[in-house]
Amino acid sequence: MSMKSILVPYDFSEEANYAFELAQEIATKAACNLKLIHILEIPTSQNFNTMGEVTMGENFMDKVYMVDLTNKRKEQFKKLEQEHAGKPYQFSTNLTFGNPYAGIAGEIAEVKADLVIMGSKGSSGLEELLIGSNTEKVVRHSNCPVITVKGKVSADDIKRIVFASDFSDNSKKVIKKLKYLQELLGAQIRLVKINTPNSFEKTIVSMNNINEFIKENKLENAEIDIFNGDSEEEGINEFADFVNADMIAMATHGRTGFLHLLGGSIAEDVVNSSKKPVWTMKFKK
């Protein structure tokens, strides 16, 4: 297995810079392509096509602002491309217009991304429940792994990855991608089953399942853990803190609509609540 393409949705925020810095380090290790995409969301009063060309509309001052912002972003991307010429990875950028999530999803498919790295501030409460951030939508729907970061992190410092799972067949669908990243970073992987009052499994059963999982997937530098928590989300975060993990990894079911509102997603909850980088991948049913 190899990694050929990393995509970073980039909005020039501090969190996006953290994601970009991590992506550069991973792209260097993998010697792969690295692409930034910036999407300008067009106000409803505006008439721009996807190339950023102005068409007729009502609000002239808004148009002037959008044109100035577009030119500014183009210059910023041009400077970045010049700065990254001759790096161990192939670097490119894309400036486009429209809905941020739709643009990111389209770019993931276009470049056949093997990994998406995104910055996020996290969200909670009613807004998260009803709408969800662009990061959450990418985590939920992307067919490739997504790393969500909220703070500065170096690839060289990721030496302990916690993979929280029930170690069912669905987990087997994502472990190959995580195993590649683990080996690329030279990290240890801690395989943990979280027990809760509503979802309890005997330790001997969990140990046998995880041991079989390790053998079947030929995992090395791996340790087995069983941890108790009041909820899966709380247990994962507490265990990650307890072992001083550098990254949390999880599979996500990718439910949408009413099913998502009913069941939610433990992975998305952890992405929102954890301050550590979180690696997620949607398993294919």
Domains and CATH numbers, the chain: 5-148 (3.40.50.620), 158-282 (3.40.50.620)
In this structure, the number of other CB atoms found within 10 A of the CB of residue 143 comes to: 14
- The CA angle 19-24-25, to the nearest 5 degrees, is 100
CA distances (Å), origin 224, targets 7, 93, 192, 211, 221: 32, 41, 6, 8, 11
- pTM of this prediction exceeds 0.95: no
Q: Two tokens at 8?
A: 């970073």
In this structure, the number of other CB atoms found within 10 A of the CB of residue 227 comes to: 18
Quote the CA–CA distance of 124 and 272 in Å, as a whole number: 7
What does the pLDDT read at residue 199? 87
Q: Which amino acid is at 3?
A: M
Q: Two tokens at 253?
A: 């079911």
pLDDT tens track, the chain, 285 positions: 789 999 999 988 899 999 999 999 999 999 999 999 999 887 655 555 555 555 545 566 667 778 888 899 999 999 999 999 889 999 999 999 888 889 999 999 999 999 999 998 755 444 444 334 778 888 888 889 999 999 999 999 999 999 999 998 888 889 999 999 999 999 999 999 999 998 899 999 999 999 999 999 999 999 999 999 999 999 999 999 999 999 999 998 755 443 333 334 788 889 888 999 999 998 776
Quote the CA–CA distance of 108 and 273 in Å, as a whole number: 25
Quote the CA–CA distance of 65 and 50 in Å, as a whole number: 17
3-state secondary structure of 33: strand
In 3D space, the residue among 179, 224, 230 whose CA is nearest the CA of residue 205 turns out to be: 224
Quote the CA–CA distance of 72 and 166 in Å, as a whole number: 48
CA distances (Å), origin 137, targets 141, 146, 268: 6, 11, 9
Quote the CA–CA distance of 1 and 176 in Å, as a whole number: 8
- Going along the chain, which residue ranges are E strands? 5-9, 33-40, 90-97, 115-119, 146-149, 160-164, 188-195, 222-228, 247-252, 278-282
What does the pLDDT read at residue 126? 42
